[in-house]
């Protein structure tokens, strides 16, 4: 899982000039154990397409052009059609329309979005390894999201075990792929169709 945007609420100032993003976008890929290599291949192809760029330096979605993002999107759609157990997830929130209760604690807003995006998928499994980008999670909040998700699922009668493994996106092509998905959703969300 990765995101685009931030959980700040300075919506009166321009973004990047003491202002917060207008949207928060979360994206995730659900991959059965052993099939992560299929997603990795897509990202390796993008690295090779960038004049043999080294995997040692993380490729951020902001460095990709529109054609490269379309390539990733098309390959992910084809992959999910060939392997229905690989699923893509995304959620776009226009922050101007978020109620004050969720604004008070930004981590609650983030967790709420993640739950809305992932709850149905997580309910299908008994064991989940969750790899969020380590830069996203504060150490004290590392277990907040999985604990919340486990509780919400238990209320509905599902009891999965969720292990959270914060990971550096530079070392995980799967997280980099989620970054590209969130970047693609930025365009959709800011166009008004999110």
Q: Is the pLDDT of residue 189 over 60?
A: no
Look at 11-15, 134-138, 169-173, 176-180 and tell me which has the smallest mean pLDDT. 134-138
User: Which of 40-49, 75-84, 120-129 ranks highest by mean pLDDT?
Assistant: 75-84
Which residue in 184, 190, 186, 187 sits closest to 69, CA to CA?
Answer: 184
For the chain, the maximum distance between any two Cα atoms, rounded to a whole number of angstroms, is 50
**Is there a contact between 18 and 31 (Cβ–Cβ < 8 Å)?**
no
The DSSP secondary-structure symbol of 167 reads B
What local confidence, expressed as pLDDT, does residue 141 receive?
A: 60
Strand partners, 3: 26
Does residue 193 register a pLDDT over 70?
no
pLDDT the model gives residue 130? 85
How large is the average pLDDT for residues 84-96? 94
Q: Which residue has the higher pLDDT, 50 or 179?
A: 179
* N-terminal to C-terminal alpha carbon distance within the chain: 18
Rounded CA gap, 75 and 97, in Å? 33
pLDDT in tens, 101-139: 888 877 788 888 999 999 999 999 999 998 887 776 555
What is the distance of C-alpha 88 from the center of its chain?
Answer: 9
């Amino acid at each position: 899982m990765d995101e685009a945007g931030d959980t700040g609420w300075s919506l009166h100032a321009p973004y990047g000039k003491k202002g917060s993003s207008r949207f928060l976008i979360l994206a995730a890929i659900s991959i059965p154990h052993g099939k992560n290599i299929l997603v990795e291949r897509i990202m390796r192809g993008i690295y090779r397409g960038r004049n043999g760029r080294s995997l040692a330096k993380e490729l951020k979605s902001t460095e990709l052009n529109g054609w490269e993002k379309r390539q990733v999107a098309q390959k992910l759609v084809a992959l999910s059609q060939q392997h229905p157990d690989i699923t893509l997830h995304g959620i776009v929130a226009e922050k101007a329309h978020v109620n004050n209760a969720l604004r008070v604690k930004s981590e609650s807003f983030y967790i709420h979005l993640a739950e809305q995006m992932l709850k149905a998928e997580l309910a299908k499994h008994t064991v989940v390894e969750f790899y969020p980008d380590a830069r996203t999670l504060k150490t004290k909040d590392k277990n907040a999201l999985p604990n919340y998700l486990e509780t919400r699922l238990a209320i509905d009668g599902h009891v999965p075990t969720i292990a959270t493994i914060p990971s550096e996106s530079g070392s995980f092509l799967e997280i980099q792929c989620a970054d590209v998905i969130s970047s693609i959703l930025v365009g959709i969300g800011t166009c008004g169709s999110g």
